[in-house]
């Protein structure tokens, strides 16, 4: 049986030939991920601009209908309820984690888990403090 040039190709040369399409595919995936990342950043910044704009509008119309009791009180109640529910869920998760029945599967919390737990508790406590502060401050400074 005669030997041809294709029989003499080394595996390294074949790998080099086949890496060109995978390099092209990798480049296309990289460009696609960059475009997707840029899109996500733009969408997030648009949301942040929206919240900033709504905050500015709320600050500018402080004496308007948005500050009326019919709007203010339900928002305060919803905020307090959400903060209390969040604290209840965190307390229940902590209690379930520390039960004797869960000891066999308990893993140490990662730094990220601890940070998330702390930020969530802090945000809930601050929300409750702001609701209490508003309830105390409003009758003093906003006499109807």
- 3-state SS, 63-89, equals CCHHHCHHHHHHHHHHHHHHHHHHHHH
Band of residue 84 on the pLDDT scale cut at 50, 70, 90: very high
Mean pLDDT (whole number) for 83-107: 86
Contacts of 84 (CB under 8 A, 6+ apart): 124, 128
CA distances from residue 125 to 22, 60, 113, 119, 137 in whole angstroms, order as listed: 52, 27, 18, 10, 18
Yes or no: say if 87 and 121 are a contact pair by the CB < 8 Å rule.
yes
Task: Dig out the tokens for 93 from the structure.
Answer: 């998760």
Residue of higher predicted confidence among 79 and 140:
79
Q: How far is residue 21's CA from residue 141's CA, in Å, rounded to a whole number?
A: 71
**Statement: residue 129 has pLDDT above 80:** yes
**Statement: residue 17 has pLDDT above 60:** no
Amino acid 81: pLDDT = 92
Band of residue 37 on the pLDDT scale cut at 50, 70, 90: confident
The residue assigned the tokens 């890496």 is 19
**Statement: residue 78 has pLDDT above 60:** yes
Yes or no: say if 124 and 80 are a contact pair by the CB < 8 Å rule.
no
């Amino acid at each position: 049986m005669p030997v041809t040039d294709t029989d003499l190709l080394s595996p390294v040369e074949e790998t080099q030939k086949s890496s060109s399409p995978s390099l092209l595919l990798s480049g296309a995936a990289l460009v696609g991920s960059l475009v997707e990342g840029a899109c996500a950043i733009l969408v997030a910044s648009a949301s942040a601009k929206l919240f900033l704009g709504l905050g500015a509008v709320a600050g500018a119309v402080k004496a308007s209908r948005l500050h009326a009791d019919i709007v203010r009180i339900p928002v305060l109640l919803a905020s307090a309820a959400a903060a209390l529910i969040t604290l209840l869920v965190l307390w229940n998760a902590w209690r379930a984690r520390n039960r004797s029945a869960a000891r066999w599967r308990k893993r140490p919390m990662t730094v990220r888990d601890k940070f998330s737990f702390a930020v969530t508790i802090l945000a809930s406590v601050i929300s409750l403090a702001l609701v209490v502060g508003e309830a105390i401050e409003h009758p003093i400074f906003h006499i109807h």
